[in-house]
Every structure is written in C-alpha cells, then in structure tokens.
Amino acid sequence: MEKLLCPSMMCADFGALKREMEALEKAGIDLYHLDVMDGKFVPNFGMGLQDIQYICGQGKKPADVHLMIEDPGNYVELFAGLGAKIIYIHPEADTHPTRTLQRIIDAGAKPGIAINPGTSIGTVEELLYLSEYVLVMTVNPGFAGQKYLDFTDYKIEKLSAFKEKYGFEMVVDGAISPERIASLSRKGVKGFVLGTSSLFGKGRSYEEIIPELRAL
C-alpha cells in the first residue's frame, strides 16, 4: 500500500517557511499537516491563520487541517476557504459531529475524524460512515515530542477491521518513528504525520529522509 507522508508543520522552522516548504516538496512529501489549537480543547495554541493561508496557497502539495478546537463546525467554511483539502474534527469537541462532517463535504473538503487515545471506537463508529479519513492520535493531542502510547496499537487494529465496511483511510499522528511506520503500515495504516520522531531536527536533509521512510 502506498504511504501518505504528511509533515507536521508545527515542527517546521517558521523563520524560513518558504525554504522549508520547497525542501519538503523536493523531497517528495504528499500532504502538509496543519494543527489548529484554541487553548481550550487542548492546553496549547497552534498555527495562525496567516501561516495556514500561506501554506495552502503557496504549497504545491495539498494540506489537511486538524482542528483541536471547541465547536469546530463554526469554522469549517473558514478553513475550507483557506484551501484545506481534508478537515479533521474531534467528535468530543462538537455537539453535532455528523452535521459538521456534512458541512465539510458541502464546503468541498474531505471529512475526517480524529480519535484521541482515550476515546472508545464504539462511541464514534457511526461517524465512520461520513469519514473519508480517520486520524488516530497515538499521543494525547496538543504538544510535539511526546512518547508513543503503546495501547493505541489495539485501537489501530480494531479500526483496521472496519476499513472495508466504511471505506476510510487511516492516518496516525504522534511520536511516529521510522520503526512505527514500518510496523503500522503492516496493520493497514496509510498515512503518517511526521514530526520530530522521524523528520524534523535530525541533522539530515529531507531529501535523504523521505525516501527512506517511504521504503519502509
């Protein structure tokens, strides 16, 4: 199965964003991963609207937006209008997640749900009908550089059994090392959000790293 390699842009050097994007695209990345946080749903703040607009507008690769915010349905049209091709919401943050997923579709983007480590698959299974992508959080959301939570492997295996029934693709986010990419790709995971565990701050060029990750 072809991998979807998605650099987490909150880990990039924003002082040299244009150069970072050019290097990532030259290396062969597939999709930019953009984190939005409101300081309420998660105790941190994410990327600004100007940065998201720049990446979506100037990038030669598409971008997803991961909304770690309360009431994400209020902002679907905003982020779709900025150019997000996939929009992830956390069902726990939304009173009417099915309505929000439909709004994402109506806005011209692809709908996705993000599942926290402590969220049961059973509580969100009905949403899989409307989800083209499922983002499995393998750390608690909000901060880079955390330790991988091993028990999320069970969640990934359980979701993998639902893929054919519901027709979604699975993406993982959080402490995704090269070793995790190799093992999780065998469990049906297509997409990998790449942060400091595999891509950024390694003292090597993206052009060296990305082909190695794709070959795993």
3-class state of residue 88 by DSSP: strand
Residue 89, H or E segment: strand 86-89
Active site residue 150: no
SS3 of residue 122 by DSSP: helix
Rounded CA-CA distance 203/216 in Å is 20
- Contact in structure between 8 and 35 (CB atoms under 8 Å): yes
Q: Buried b / exposed e across 122-160, counting CB within 10 Å, b at 16+?
A: eebeebbebbbbbbbbbbebbebebebbeebbebbeebe
The single residue of 13, 30, 35, 51 carrying the catalytic annotation is 35
Q: What share of the chain is helix, strand, coil (3-state, %, to 5)?
A: 40, 20, 40
Angle, alpha carbons 178-194-43 (nearest 5°): 125
Catalytic residues: 35, 173
